[in-house]
């Protein structure tokens, strides 16, 4: 697996980060520590902190520990938004197991999300680097703004493609670009190199989210850890659906199906099936690949160290992960 090579390269750093995240949770009020610890341990693929740790190899900061804190801060922020998303989108399954939300009340889930926000704030503060901290705060604003845009643009069937791109920037690419840019700042990289790493993270994040949105149409429930079509069910228009409804007849039919009758799962499943069998999937995949090509190009100006190859592997993984 492409991701394993990258992971092995920074295995020690990832382990140090896990330890730091677990430690942060261990301080929590006891009845909670278990639940939060489970959330930290369940952990997903750690793609974002892996990017931070790899990006940190080009211009290593004087204090390596600060890079570990930064990676843990990035992952904690990601966890916070995931936990709140669970309340927001009502998804009962994520990463293939029952979420905090299913076991807890909404209010304790809100608090658990806030808890990870607080941990993220403390961890990034450990870098003691004002510009890194400011960028972190700014990214959080962009992320929340993206969530709000998503909520407010639901069921707007005629929104332009740019709205989708704005939203996925906030939803995913802003954190990816933070993950690859801030280690460069911490290490005092030249501005052009910081910019190359930022762009790499941005392009990769955009591709990552497009692929996620494609998977929501083509993957099965077992792979997704939640039913397919969950965005559609919430009225969120992602790239595959966007392409599908560019044909006026298809658009009219989708609107009729989604708006004129009560939107139950059978209707969502039907629309998912229609999109899945259309050319819209390939069109969306093509855009994801274009972003990955851009990400690959961004790497060219960086020093040719093993971390650069590893970042290229991660980029390839993003578009190959299920196709």
Contact assessment for residue 214 and residue 208, using Cβ atoms and an 8 Å cutoff: no
> 70-83: b or e for each residue (b if 16 or more CB lie within 10 Å)?
bbbbbbbbbbbbbb
Question: What part of residues 238-297 is at the interface with its own copies (CB under 8 A)?
Answer: none
Asked whether position 110 contacts its own copies by CB under 8 A, the answer is yes
d(CA 129, CA 182): 10
| DSSP secondary structure of 133-150 | HHHHHHHHHHHHHHHHHH
Contacts of 168 (CB under 8 A, 6+ apart): 146, 205, 206, 209, 210, 213
Q: With respect to its own copies, which residue has the nearer C-beta, 30 or 249?
A: 30
Q: With respect to its own copies, which residue has the nearer C-beta, 87 or 241?
A: 87
Asked whether position 128 contacts its own copies by CB under 8 A, the answer is yes
d(CA 143, CA 145): 5
Asked whether position 152 contacts its own copies by CB under 8 A, the answer is yes
Contact residue for its own copies among 130, 248, 262, 264 (CB under 8 A): 130
Shortest spacing between CB 4 and its own copies, in angstroms: 34
Which SS3 state, helix, strand or coil, does residue 94 take?
strand
d(CA 41, CA 88): 22
Asked whether position 233 contacts its own copies by CB under 8 A, the answer is no
Asked whether position 133 contacts its own copies by CB under 8 A, the answer is yes
Q: Which stretch binds its own copies (CB under 8 A): 143-151, 180-188, 218-226, 311-319?
A: 143-151
Asked whether position 117 contacts its own copies by CB under 8 A, the answer is yes
Binding site for its own copies (CB under 8 A): 27-29, 31-32, 84, 87-89, 106-108, 110-111, 113-115, 117-119, 121-122, 124-126, 128, 130, 133-134, 136-138, 140-141, 143-145, 147-149, 151-152
């Amino acid at each position: 697996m492409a991701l394993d090579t990258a992971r092995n390269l920074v295995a020690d750093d990832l382990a140090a980060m896990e330890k730091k995240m677990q430690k942060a949770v261990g301080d929590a009020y006891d009845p909670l520590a278990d639940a939060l610890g489970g959330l930290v341990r369940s952990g997903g693929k750690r793609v974002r902190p892996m990017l931070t740790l790899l990006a940190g190899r080009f211009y290593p900061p004087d204090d390596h520990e600060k890079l570990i804190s930064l990676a843990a801060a990035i992952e904690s922020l990601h966890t916070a938004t995931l936990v709140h998303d669970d309340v927001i989108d009502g998804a009962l399954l994520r990463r293939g197991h029952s979420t905090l939300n299913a076991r807890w009340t909404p209010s304790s889930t809100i608090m658990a999300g806030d808890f990870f926000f607080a941990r993220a704030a403390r961890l990034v503060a450990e870098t003691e680097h004002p510009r890194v901290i400011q960028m972190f705060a700014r990214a959080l604003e962009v992320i929340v703004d993206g969530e709000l845009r998503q909520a407010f643009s639901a069921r707007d069937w005629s929104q332009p493609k740019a709205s989708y791109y704005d939203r996925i920037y906030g939803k995913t690419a802003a954190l990816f670009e933070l993950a690859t840019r801030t280690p460069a700042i911490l290490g005092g990289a030249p501005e052009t190199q910081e910019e190359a790493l930022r762009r790499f993270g941005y392009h990769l994040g955009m591709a990552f989210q497009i692929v996620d949105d494609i998977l929501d149409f083509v993957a099965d429930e077992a792979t997704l850890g939640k039913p397919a079509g969950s965005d559609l069910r919430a009225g969120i228009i992602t790239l595959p659906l966007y392409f599908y409804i560019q044909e006026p007849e298809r658009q009219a039919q989708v609107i009729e199906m989604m708006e004129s009758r009560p939107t139950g799962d059978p209707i969502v499943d039907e629309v998912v099936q229609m999109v899945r069998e259309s050319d819209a999937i390939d069109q969306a995949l093509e855009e994801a690949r274009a972003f990955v090509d851009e990400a690959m190009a961004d790497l060219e100006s960086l020093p040719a160290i093993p971390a650069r190859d590893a970042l290229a592997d991660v980029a390839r993984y993003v578009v190959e992960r299920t196709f």
